[in-house]
Structure 1
Amino acid sequence: MNKNNYCVIMSGGIGSRFWPFSREARPKQFLDFFGTGRSLLQMTFDRFKKIVPIENIFIVTNEGYQQMTADELPELNPDQILLEPMRRNTAPCIAFASYRINAINPNANIVVAPSDHLIMKEDEFLTVVNKAYEFVEKNDTLLTLGIRPSRPETGYGYIQMSDEHVDGVTKVKVFTEKPNIDLAKVFYESGEFLWNSGIFIWNSRTITESFRQHLPEISNRFDQGKDLFGTDKEKAFIDENFPFCPNISIDYGIMEKASNVCVQAADFGWSDLGTWGSLYDITEKDENANAALVSETLFYDSAENIVTLPDGKLAVIQGLEGYIVAEANNVLLICKKDDEQRIKQFVTDVKLKYGEEYI
């Protein structure tokens, strides 16, 4: 393993689109979706430790999940769990980890990945990441992994490839937000677009300079305390300054603005597991396209549903088509799959009417 290679796993979200399975007290990255005995976070860690020294893996999470993260990943030292005092989206999260790693090794090559992605073809994925490490070690480029689309998909962002290349890797022409179905069909049929995986690779100097160029409101603050990262004064500095960082994603803040962005096209069985629909897509189904997770289920006159209940419970479903049926703890959700974008609103309404008990 290359000692200059590092990994940052972002694990601070609450996964509200997977409510009620994902709850604020235990969000989706800490859940075992497939009955394997390993949570999504553990599966992500298991994947990267095959190619990255364990001491070079960092988890960035909300300070409320410190103990949960430590319990799930006992191989990590406490100082490898970086604690955000509040949620400020992915750009401040990545800046925090980048400044910490830069304090340890200014020659670091860094992969940044969400904690809740599913990778079906792990060997292919690790081969792609290793090649990406080699690329960013030699090139001051912001590299992202793009997934070859298998269908017109409205749930993912897209990356348009240009005709230019850097050391054999394609430069990005433009990032595009989630399209409507007509535009998604155009993207798919053109062959010029890839799904945006949200997995990034760069070297330490490139990402640090990118923050200074495109998000100085973050770098100016962190530069003031750059000598504190990795010391016992780091936490106090982060607690004081992190809340003043803008709430902005790395995509909006840097990737869409920078001119030195490349994309590596890949196909390694990727799903971002962002919604019940994405989980349904990759789950084994019966002859009527019904999917059941963990619990026992009997379907009658029903099709294209996804059902998950606590282990040991039985669901008997009759006459439903295209529904999500999900029970967890004290909440039962029955919602049309096509309307799952409303789940975040359901959560907001529940919180307003009933308080935190069901969130």
Structure 2
Amino acid sequence: MKNNFYAVIMAGGVGSRFWPVSTQKFPKQFHDMLGTGQSLIQRTFERINELVPTSNILIATNENYEKLVLQQIPQLSSKQLLLEPVMRNTAPCILYAALKIYQQNPDAVILVAPSDHWIKDEGEFLRNIQTSFEACAKDDILMTLGIQPDHPNTGYGYIQYESTNSEIKKVKNFTEKPDLKTAESFLASGDYLWNAGIFVWSAKSILKAFKEFLPDMVNVLDDGNNVYNSDFEDDFIKSNYKNCENISIDFGIMERANNVHVLPVDFGWNDLGTWGSLYGKLKKDENENAVVGANVIFRDAKGNMIRTENGKRVVIQGLEDFIVVEKKDIIMICPRKDDQDIKEIMSEAGDYFGKKFV
């Protein structure tokens, strides 16, 4: 059975809200963001590798990050990298992966997971994936994992499900990033989950869905000549990938298909999308200050997050609820409540300091 288990780790993003640490040349998934001694993608690979054989794990990333992936995960061969020549959101690279995997094994069931999430209970996560694999091997369903929400977050998508006694629920609908009032009503109703962007399906089921909902994309990436897993694959992708529609799997398929199901899960999850979300997962001192890398003296300071190059000596006095990040020749200081603005700050810094700094 395990030979039919496959995984695609999505590692193509830039993580601009983690500037100045995350940059175009060296995005956040390749950094040790939590100070654990492992980058986010290394931890994600090891976690999934507990269930999925090494040879069945693919990494979807931008062609610029090929060397970074192979340096950080030397167990992989270059044939296991899906190199995107241009960014086209999640649907095209998921189709690319599904065509490649189906050509290898028509009975494959596939986990699609981001490279940069934090998961507390990895054993529970693997049990949930095993449950999902077994369900998708048996039935023609498209599955997503739904996180039990603990606050009305407006940065996540929400999944409403049908209340039944079965462990896996049928999805009623998806709602992308609601406003605060809507998010509060979702929490109160009790039948909504956060969309974690972690999917499971069989190769057959997802290809069938692409043919139904995104047939033009199938025509672009499937020319019927069995180019996948051959010497022609790289050239074919370089020539054709740019012609795919720029669309997410959520908008392209999950919000339109009627065989979407969700497994409500509770394994301690965070998408690590901002410095503020990272702060939430770090150890704090008695004044709620968190530190990665630095050697800090805090004086009359609380609720701060400090991240510097290893061993940098820092003194913080009179600061409350701020993010202080240092990287080589850049220092960024920003209120924690404004961490969503860092994407704009990065863009402004690129214009002002020069593109090499972003």
Deviations 1:58-110 (A, max 9, x none): 01111111111111111112101111111111111111111110110111100
Alpha-carbon spacing, 1:159–1:213, altered in 2? closer, same or farther (3 Å): same
Secondary structure of 1:228 counterpart: coil
Match of 1:288 in 2: 287
Given that residues 167 and 263 in structure 2 are in contact (C-alpha distance below 8 angstroms), is that contact kept between their aligned partners in structure 1? no
Given that residues 293 and 312 in structure 2 are in contact (C-alpha distance below 8 angstroms), is that contact kept between their aligned partners in structure 1? no
Match of 1:63 in 2: 63
Match of 2:336 in 1: 337
Match of 1:30 in 2: 30
Q: Measure the CA separation in 2 of the matches of 1:282 and 1:179.
A: 24
Match of 1:249 in 2: 248
- How far did residue 303 of structure 1 move? 2.1
Q: Measure the CA separation in 2 of the matches of 1:38 and 1:193.
A: 33
Output the amino acid matched with 1:68. L
Identity of aligned residues (%): 48
Structural mapping, 1:103-114, within 5 Å = 103-114=103-114
Given that residues 34 and 294 in structure 1 are in contact (C-alpha distance below 8 angstroms), is that contact kept between their aligned partners in structure 2? no
Number of matched pairs: 358
- How far did residue 189 of structure 1 move? 2.2
Q: Measure the CA separation in 1 of the matches of 2:297 and 2:159.
A: 41
Given that residues 8 and 110 in structure 2 are in contact (C-alpha distance below 8 angstroms), is that contact kept between their aligned partners in structure 1? yes
Q: Measure the CA separation in 2 of the matches of 1:159 and 1:324.
A: 32
Output the amino acid matched with 1:128. N
Q: Measure the CA separation in 2 of the matches of 1:155 and 1:14.
A: 18
Given that residues 153 and 184 in structure 1 are in contact (C-alpha distance below 8 angstroms), is that contact kept between their aligned partners in structure 2? yes
Match of 1:320 in 2: 319
Deviations 1:195-232 (A, max 9, x none): 11100000001101111111122111112155101110
Given that residues 112 and 199 in structure 2 are in contact (C-alpha distance below 8 angstroms), is that contact kept between their aligned partners in structure 1? yes
Structure 2: gaps spanning 5 or more residues: none
Match of 2:305 in 1: 306
Q: Measure the CA separation in 2 of the matches of 1:190 and 1:172.
A: 15
Given that residues 9 and 58 in structure 1 are in contact (C-alpha distance below 8 angstroms), is that contact kept between their aligned partners in structure 2? yes
Q: Measure the CA separation in 2 of the matches of 1:134 and 1:115.
A: 23
Given that residues 158 and 176 in structure 2 are in contact (C-alpha distance below 8 angstroms), is that contact kept between their aligned partners in structure 1? yes
Secondary structure of 1:163 counterpart: coil
Structure 1: gaps spanning 5 or more residues: none
Match of 1:202 in 2: 201
Structural mapping, 1:50-199, within 5 Å = 50-163=50-163, 168-199=167-198
Q: Measure the CA separation in 1 of the matches of 2:210 and 2:329.
A: 43
Match of 1:49 in 2: 49
Q: Measure the CA separation in 2 of the matches of 1:246 and 1:261.
A: 22
Deviations 1:212-256 (A, max 9, x none): 111122111112155101110011110011111111111111111
Alpha-carbon spacing, 1:130–1:188, altered in 2? closer, same or farther (3 Å): same
Given that residues 34 and 278 in structure 2 are in contact (C-alpha distance below 8 angstroms), is that contact kept between their aligned partners in structure 1? no
Q: Measure the CA separation in 1 of the matches of 2:142 and 2:252.
A: 13
- Runs ≥4 residues deviating over 3 A: none
Alpha-carbon spacing, 1:170–1:299, altered in 2? closer, same or farther (3 Å): same
Structural mapping, 1:229-244, within 5 Å = 229-244=228-243
- How far did residue 182 of structure 1 move? 2.6
Output the amino acid matched with 1:17. R
Given that residues 146 and 263 in structure 1 are in contact (C-alpha distance below 8 angstroms), is that contact kept between their aligned partners in structure 2? yes
Q: Measure the CA separation in 1 of the matches of 2:164 and 2:85.
A: 41
Given that residues 225 and 237 in structure 1 are in contact (C-alpha distance below 8 angstroms), is that contact kept between their aligned partners in structure 2? no
Q: Could you tell which deviates more after superposition, 310-319 or 119-128? A: 310-319
Q: Measure the CA separation in 2 of the matches of 1:15 and 1:156.
A: 16
Alpha-carbon spacing, 1:79–1:292, altered in 2? closer, same or farther (3 Å): same
- How far did residue 148 of structure 1 move? 0.7
Deviations 1:254-297 (A, max 9, x none): 11111110000000011111111110111111222221112112
Output the amino acid matched with 1:337. R
Q: Measure the CA separation in 2 of the matches of 1:216 and 1:316.
A: 58
Deviations 1:110-142 (A, max 9, x none): 000000011110000000000100000011111
Secondary structure of 2:74 counterpart: coil
Output the amino acid matched with 2:3. K
Given that residues 7 and 57 in structure 1 are in contact (C-alpha distance below 8 angstroms), is that contact kept between their aligned partners in structure 2? yes
Secondary structure of 2:280 counterpart: helix
Output the amino acid matched with 2:326. E
Q: Measure the CA separation in 2 of the matches of 1:311 and 1:356.
A: 25
- How far did residue 164 of structure 1 move? 6.0
Secondary structure of 1:325 counterpart: strand
Q: Measure the CA separation in 2 of the matches of 1:264 and 1:141.
A: 12
Secondary structure of 1:288 counterpart: coil
